[in-house]
């Protein structure tokens, strides 16, 4: 690091949301709650002197792949004032943590049973297994499946749901895997270091982890129906024909059905941009009531998502124990829009995998990664630490298998491929400058000072920021594909709320409503899927809770013990657990009324009200301890590639850019800083 700056670190208090996270039962060293109550703040203190701007630019360009790409921690590094200078201060440093199955531990809590636990001595290394033989499994567009294939898919899901929940292959356990890894039930446990909560989202782990997850899910489905060629269909939301919920998920008598979806959107075209409704004092949104316009805009959004320049922009940054999360366009784009569009279970990371459509959504996300490295000819990340990242999943033979990122880079070696259309429409949908904007001729505005931050985003209240461009980009009239110019937002978001805002570039005030994804001025959108809704145990979902198994979303209409109940299709269940009372490996007794004394000395009764060993009273179907950990607000770095936009708007020599932030959803989103960088 240049001697012109030094890093100053100090703890700051962090605001908490109302989303409760159950207390961890695992921990070495300081508790997670205490760690997250005090976050580190790192900022650069630059020395004065001549040539300050040039030195500052040099500092910003010091191998940023070691500094920036890895922004995915849970204890975030931020400015002490929550308002970094727009382009002057150094970015958060990533304290990188190698992620392997050996350092990940699932935290047993009052509300959660760790799914598919395994004996470490029985784990098989994926590399020791034979390569696939025979024809590859072909993943097909869900909207093009014939009746025979739909029945095969339904039968596979039905049989998975019929497996006992103690079977690691069961739907109950398979969906629980996603909840465990994505709703902060796993900790990274390293010798000599405090535990760090782990999440497969908001970093470059997102794509390979989900590839592993649905790979084993697919193999289990095929084995259950005796068809090793079975391929998991994909929700083809990047093609106009597939831009609505596939009809195979609408049959209420099908095991693919889930009543807990947004009922108003089941038969309408998707909006991958999740655009705004009419806002006061602004023109109507461009595509109001126009389906063709909406589908076109979806293709423009796909173009932006898929044509970023670097693997970090596409896949995301490294996982860090300390640092700001950095999500890639693969995760932030259509993937997130599909989650929110489907709604219900899909609208929360905690419950998403309970809906069968989740797996088809991620089949297409995986296809996007496949297209990135094949059709688009782009590279994956080169970091050995990323390649060595590993997890353990159960395969179709109930064997725990350790698999690494290196093992899944080539889906052909995994034995599956995708049925593709001849043409990808979005490849031809590069946005172009608007021809209807009235651009006033004026001098450029002064840069928004750091003291103006943080900015709180409220729906319907646009925010306006002017940022400085890097001097070397000005001198060159733009940037290159190898070192693109990017717009960086450092944000704090509520983990229990959907958040979304659009970003416009050099659009005069009052003309925001006439700019859309087809225009170069529309730089992109930030979207955030919440971890938990904060009130998600409403009786319409099954729960993995140890004391509150509300209901299972299955197709068999079975009840438990003396607590028969309605499932999500309104059928009464009759499966009793009383005839299966047992003492399991955690010392629990299970009976018809579910009353038991477990290994933590708690009494649990049929009504599930209880006093546990920490003196909390829990009753009814939603007991949450009043001293449960609060899920921390999350610090996220969001980046937009400006290389093509700068060229299209002919502003390569400009010293500043005018940024309009259009909030769409989320009540607690903070913009801590906005800046332009060269990667």
- Segment 527-568, tens digit of pLDDT: 999 987 544 433 333 444 433 334 334 443 333 333 333 344
What's the pLDDT tens digit per position in 9-39? 223 333 334 454 444 333 333 332 332 332 3
What pLDDT is recorded for position 90? 39
Task: Give the per-residue pLDDT at 93.
Answer: 58
Structure tokens belonging to residue 493: 């978001």
Structure tokens at 195: 């535990």
- Residue 94, pLDDT score: 65
Residues 152 and 225: their CA atoms lie apart, in Å, by 8
Q: What is the reported pLDDT for 630?
A: 60
- Which residues, 6 or more positions from 207, have their beta carbon under 8 angstroms from its beta carbon? 315, 316, 328, 330, 331, 365, 366, 369
List pLDDT tens digits, range 451-497: 999 999 998 899 999 999 999 999 999 999 999 999 999 999 998 88
Size of the chain, expressed as the number of residues it contains = 679
Cβ contacts of 64 within 8 Å, gap of 6 or more? 91, 677, 679
Mean pLDDT across 335-362? 96
CB atoms within 10 A of CB 495: 25
Q: What is the pLDDT of residue 6?
A: 29
Q: CA-to-CA distance for 189 and 167, rounded, in angstroms?
A: 27
Half-sphere exposure at residue 24, Cβ-oriented, CA atoms within 13 angstroms:
27
Q: Which of 148-157, 166-175, 548-557 has the lowest mean pLDDT?
A: 548-557
Return the structure tokens found at 557: 């209409």
Q: Is the pLDDT of residue 232 over 90?
A: yes
Cβ–Cβ under 8 Å, residues 185 and 62? no
Q: Pinpoint the residues of the chain covered by CATH 1.10.1280.10.
A: 101-428
pTM: 0.76
- In the three-class reduction of DSSP (H, G, I as helix; E, B as strand; rest coil), residue 198 is classed as strand
What was the pLDDT predicted at 533?
A: 59
Per-residue confidence (pLDDT) for residue 110, from 0 to 100: 64
In this structure, the number of other CB atoms found within 10 A of the CB of residue 252 comes to 10
Alpha-carbon distance 282 to 513, whole Å? 6
For domain 101-428, the CATH class is mainly alpha
Tokens of 233: 């269909």
pLDDT at position 159 is 99
Say how far apart CA 540 and CA 259 lie, in whole Å: 8
State percent of the chain over pLDDT 70.
68
In this structure, the number of other CB atoms found within 10 A of the CB of residue 461 comes to: 12
Nearest to 333 by CA among 316, 345, 350: 316
């Amino acid at each position: 690091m240049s001697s012109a700056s030094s890093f100053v670190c100090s703890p700051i208090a962090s605001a908490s949301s109302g989303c409760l996270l159950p207390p961890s039962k695992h921990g070495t060293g300081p508790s997670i709650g205490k760690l997250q109550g005090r976050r580190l703040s790192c900022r650069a203190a630059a020395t004065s002197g001549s040539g300050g701007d040039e030195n500052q630019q040099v500092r910003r360009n010091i191998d940023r792949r070691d500094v920036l790409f890895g922004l995915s921690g849970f204890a975030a590094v931020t400015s002490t004032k929550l308002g970094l200078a727009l382009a002057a201060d150094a970015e958060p440093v990533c304290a990188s943590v190698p992620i392997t199955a050996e350092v990940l531990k699932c935290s047993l809590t009052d509300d959660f049973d760790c799914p598919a636990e395994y004996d470490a001595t029985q784990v098989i290394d994926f590399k020791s297994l034979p390569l696939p033989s025979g024809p590859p499994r072909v993943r097909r567009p869900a909207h093009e499946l014939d009746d025979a294939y739909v029945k095969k898919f339904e039968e596979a899901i039905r049989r998975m749901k019929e497996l006992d929940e103690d079977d690691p292959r069961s739907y109950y356990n398979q969906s629980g895997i996603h909840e465990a890894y994505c709703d902060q039930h796993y900790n990274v446990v390293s010798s000599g270091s405090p535990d760090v909560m782990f999440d497969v989202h908001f970093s470059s782990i997102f794509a390979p982890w989900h590839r592993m997850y649905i790979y084993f899910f697919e193999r289990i489905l095929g084995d259950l129906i005796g068809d090793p060629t079975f391929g998991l269909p994909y929700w083809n939301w990047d093609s106009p024909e597939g831009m609505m919920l596939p009809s195979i998920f609408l049959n209420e008598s099908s095991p693919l059905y889930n009543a807990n979806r947004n009922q108003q959107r089941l038969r309408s075209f998707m909006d991958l941009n999740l655009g705004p409704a009419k806002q006061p004092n602004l023109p109507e949104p461009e595509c109001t009531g126009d389906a063709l316009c909406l589908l076109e805009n979806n293709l423009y959004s796909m173009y932006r998502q898929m044509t970023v320049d670097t693997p970090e922009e596409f896949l995301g940054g490294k996982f860090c124990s300390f640092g700001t999360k950095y999500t890639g366009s693969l995760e932030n784009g259509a993937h997130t829009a599909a989650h929110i569009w489907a709604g219900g279970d899909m609208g929360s990371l905690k419950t998403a995998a309970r809906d069968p459509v989740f797996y088809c959504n991620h089949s297409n996300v995986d296809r996007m990664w496949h297209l990135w490295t094949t059709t688009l000819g782009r590279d994956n990340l080169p970091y050995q630490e990323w390649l060595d990242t590993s997890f353990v999943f159960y395969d179709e033979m109930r064997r725990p298998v350790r698999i690494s990122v290196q093992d899944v880079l080539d889906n052909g070696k995994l034995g599956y491929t995708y049925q593709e259309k001849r043409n990808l429409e979005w490849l031809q949908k590069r946005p172009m400058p608007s021809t209807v904007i009235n651009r006033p001729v004026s001098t450029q505005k002064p840069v928004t000072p750091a003291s103006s931050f943080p900015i709180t985003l409220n729906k319907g209240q646009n925010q306006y920021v002017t940022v400085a461009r890097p001097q070397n980009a000005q001198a060159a009239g733009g940037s290159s594909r190898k070192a693109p110019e990017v717009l960086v937002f450092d944000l704090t978001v509520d983990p229990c709320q959907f958040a979304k805002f659009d970003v416009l570039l050099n659009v005069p005030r009052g003309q925001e409503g006439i700019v859309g994804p087809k225009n170069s001025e529309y730089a992109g959108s930030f979207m955030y899927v919440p971890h938990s809704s904060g009130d998600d145990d409403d009786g319409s979902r099954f729960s993995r809770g140890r004391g509150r198994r509300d209901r299972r979303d299955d197709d068999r209409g079975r009840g438990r013990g003396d607590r028969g109940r309605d499932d999500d299709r309104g059928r009464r269940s009759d499966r009793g657990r009383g005839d299966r009372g047992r003492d399991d490996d955690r010392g629990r007794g299970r009976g018809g009324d579910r009353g038991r004394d477990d290994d933590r000395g708690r009494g649990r009764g049929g009504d599930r009200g209880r006093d546990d060993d920490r003196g909390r009273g829990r009753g009814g179907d939603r007991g949450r301890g009043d001293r449960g950990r609060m899920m921390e607000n999350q610090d996220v770095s969001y980046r937009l590639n400006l290389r093509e936009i700068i060229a299209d708007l002919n502003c390569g020599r400009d010293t500043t850019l005018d940024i309009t932030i259009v909030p769409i959803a989320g009540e607690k989103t903070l913009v801590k800083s906005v800046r332009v960088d060269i990667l």
